[in-house]
Structure 1
Amino acid sequence: MRSAGAVVGLFLLALLAFLAFMVPAFTPDPDATAYGDKLAQPSWAHLLGTDAAGRDVLARVAAGARISLGGALLVGVAGVVVGLLVGLAAALVGGVVDALLSRLIDVVLAVPTLLLALAVVGVLGPGLRNLLVAMVLAGWAPIARLARAWAAERLGRPYVTAARLAGLSRWRAARLHVVPPTAHAVLAVATLGLGETILGLAGLSFVGLGVQPPTAEWGQLVAENRLYATTAPWLVLAPGAAIVLSVAAVTLLADAWLDRAAAP
């Protein structure tokens, strides 16, 4: 069953990659307006119809894929790097450093992720760059807590103690026997969090705090076309379906990775 989920996840991921990198070669400029052809229904000329400005919906969804998925991946990588470094520093250094970093992690975790991101964007101002910075600042703490817990637990395992008794220094033993498995486990969990990141970026863009028009992004596309949801449903169904499929893809792949990481 898990392998079937991984296959479905890979298929959805390949579909999204095709949408982001291949579809733009066959569609018009996503920002090109044609008011004489506005709100056209799906046809061979426009497979997903056009919006209120006559722009090709498929082209805009494809352009939004590069921003939505690329932004989520960037946030995920940056969050893993920051969280892993903080968690490993707390576990491996210990003492006052551990106490200070642990309190910092607790403070960040005390505020819901999206609420903290919303506050950061409110201070920095709307825009894609500020939104990505806000999501990283709000999302590193869970990774750091997991990294600290796993690293501290592995430091006490018999094979690490045996390596120390064999003459390895604390840092070399940690580099060989603690850091690699901790990083592997953190990456597996962080992949599962990519779905939440995609939803968070889309949600904040939906309320106007992320990508600004006319740049296409899935959450922003839903927001700018929500008034036409009943008369031209393809305008919101297309980016909405893209969000759902991307979250499903990363969730299925992350579940398969976590199962493999947990296997003896």
Structure 2
Amino acid sequence: MSATSLGAGPHPPRWGAGAGRIVAGAALLTAVALLPWLSRTDPALTVLRARSADQDPTPAQLAAVREQLGLDDGPLAHLARWLGGLLRGDAGTSWVSGEPVLPQVTSAFAVSLTMMLGALAVTVVVAALVCARTLHLGSRRRLRRARAGTAAAVLAALPKFLLASLLATVCGVWLGWLPSQGWEGPSSMVLPALALGLPSGAMIGGLLDQSLPGAFQEPWARTWHAFGFSPGRIARTALRRTLPAVLPQLLPTVVALVGGAVAVEKIFNIPGLGRLALDAAMAQDLPPLQTVTLVLVLLGVTAGLLLQALGRALLGPALRDGALTAPPPSTLPRRRSLRWIASCCAAVLLTAVVAGLLRDPLQVDTAARLLPPSVAHPLGTDALGRDLLARLGHGALRTAGVALLVTAVSAAAGLLLGMAGRVSAGLTEVGSTLPAVLAGLLTTAVTGPSVWGAACAVCLVGWTPYAAQTAALLAQERASGHMLASVSFGAGPSYLLRHHLLPAVLPSLVRNALLRLPTTVLVLASLGFLGLGEQPPTPEWGRLLSENQPYVELAPWTVLGPACALVLLSVLAVVGTATGRGGGVPRRRR
């Protein structure tokens, strides 16, 4: 085993990445095909109940369903029939409705694609507005006054399902400006596109806003200013200089649009791919779930290839291979207001959690249903008369514990797979295109809705950023002078691993894991909101929003507490990532 095999090169071979994509896609489709046989419940019973809501079917009815669906033939025979049908343009028939799957998926794909294109348009517009001030000032050599907006950081922190609920309630129900349910025309796309595009645009714009000052401080910018080039041309060149470094972040944004669309489609009752996948997973309707999974994976891989090609075109041949692909970090001072915001959010959140832990979250008082906030109940009560502050505090304790375990497992798996480098390059690329919500749907079909099923779903996709970070840090460490000197003196793989590679990777990996902990809590909350996580009566933040949403018009305080808690936690996640050292570059050794 050579020293170079311990880390991933900066540019893995195409055959390695291609093989990883094929293996990952085949494994995913095979796992979906095995769902009815891996489930703890009889798939014939689940399908029969989804068809007729019959709670006590006879053995003869179950046997007829098994024979009709071919469940006795085994999963491999079913997968082979499904793949053979795809080659003929036939994705099978639904086990529940008996209708052809391909027309359903085609119609849902058209709806989801329209909504995602609208969300991408909102993303581009918001990103342009966020970084417009820095572009304007930087092109005129007034960088000291260009500072990232705090409002953009807060906007980027909003969970998409929470923003969708807010827009549907305020703009759709209370004000009646736009439709809040269904898919009737272009007006039905506005609120979902805003819910998906506003946080994504603020995030992309914030990344550009942080990278642009470094581009304006490079020698070419000073030279162009000295020769009297127009500010518009300098701004366009600086934007082209920084876009290749930000474009890889658009892939998680597209994945987030797909994953967030499941919750958004449920809130707005939109017949898209996410809604179809959610219904199919709950009913164990395998043909639609397989087809939707294939479409979502192909969509993510296609988006990744297009963004990679666009990044290479923007770089040009001079910077394409091995040269600097991102401007140096800005030397402008950081805003201390972000740290004050993070401190205030942490203090308010900690106070609410501690106060809630001192109360009973399961005590039911039917005489105190939907009470407004008071001294006895600071956040009010829910439809069963339970204290919302108590449920908020106990839900935070349980969700944070699960998130900590998920983060540790994901970081460990990412470290091991990132060290495999070329072998896991394609697997990491495909895994990064799989939304956590889709993974939650697949694990729910096997384990049923539970907190540990949601935890497994997050672990299935949560390792990819750590693997990518590990591969990048190992590639940088392998190119360092002291590493090459150790190899030239005859250092073995175990010595290099203990004294060079792990010390270069672990500190940054641990910091990144700690900064991603609030984000993991938000992902678990989104799964709970969809009913894929913690089950009642156990409190959980996402489920608190879901179970109280029907009462938002009558008692809006029932969702105000968990919504504010999620916003505070989101602000902590974004501000912590902006002010921390969780990037991919380790500190230089002295």
TM over 0.5: yes
CA deviation map 1:14-59 (0-9, x unaligned): 443343345422x3x1110010111111111111111111111111
- Measure the CA separation in 1 of the matches of 2:521 and 2:339: 19
1:202, CA displacement in angstroms? 1.2
CA deviation map 1:74-94 (0-9, x unaligned): 221211111112212x14xxx
- Residue aligned with 1:77, SS: helix
Range with bigger deviation, 43-52 or 187-196: 187-196
- Measure the CA separation in 2 of the matches of 1:252 and 1:163: 39
- Residue aligned with 2:581, SS: helix
Distance 1:145 1:24, change over 3 A: same
Residue of structure 1 in register with 2:357 after alignment: 24
- Corresponding letter in the other structure for 1:117: G
Higher-Rg member (1/2): 2
Residue of structure 2 in register with 1:12 after alignment: 345
Matches within 5 A, 1:32-111: 32-88=363-419, 90-91=420-421, 98-99=422-423, 101-111=424-434
- Residue aligned with 1:258, SS: coil
1:103, CA displacement in angstroms? 3.2
Distance 1:55 1:113, change over 3 A: closer
The CA RMSD over aligned residues, in Å, is 2.3
Distance 1:50 1:110, change over 3 A: closer
Residue of structure 2 in register with 1:252 after alignment: 575
- Measure the CA separation in 2 of the matches of 1:224 and 1:242: 16
Range with bigger deviation, 47-56 or 71-80: 71-80
Distance 1:137 1:54, change over 3 A: same
- Corresponding letter in the other structure for 1:194: L
1:2, CA displacement in angstroms? 4.4
Asked if the contact 1:195/1:248 (under 8 Å) is kept, the reply is: no
Residue of structure 1 in register with 2:177 after alignment: none
- Measure the CA separation in 2 of the matches of 1:201 and 1:243: 11
1:260, CA displacement in angstroms? 8.4
Residue of structure 2 in register with 1:94 after alignment: none
Residue of structure 1 in register with 2:533 after alignment: 210
1:170, CA displacement in angstroms? 3.0
- Measure the CA separation in 2 of the matches of 1:187 and 1:215: 31
Matches within 5 A, 1:54-203: 54-88=385-419, 90-91=420-421, 98-99=422-423, 101-203=424-526
Range with bigger deviation, 2-11 or 152-161: 2-11
Asked if the contact 1:108/1:138 (under 8 Å) is kept, the reply is: yes
CA deviation map 1:170-207 (0-9, x unaligned): 33123222212212222333344334322221111111
Higher relative contact order (CA 8 A, sep 6+): 1
- Corresponding letter in the other structure for 1:154: E
Q: TM-score, normalization: structure 2?
A: 0.41
Range with bigger deviation, 173-182 or 239-248: 173-182
Distance 1:259 1:200, change over 3 A: closer
- Corresponding letter in the other structure for 1:8: I
- Measure the CA separation in 1 of the matches of 2:524 and 2:409: 15
- Corresponding letter in the other structure for 1:17: L
Range with bigger deviation, 217-226 or 60-69: 60-69
Residue of structure 1 in register with 2:251 after alignment: none
Asked if the contact 1:117/1:138 (under 8 Å) is kept, the reply is: no
Distance 1:81 1:128, change over 3 A: same
- For this pair of structures, how many residues does the alignment match? 254
Q: Is residue 549 of structure 2 the alignment partner of residue 226 of structure 1? A: yes
- Measure the CA separation in 2 of the matches of 1:11 and 1:80: 29
1:3, CA displacement in angstroms? 4.3
- Corresponding letter in the other structure for 2:506: A
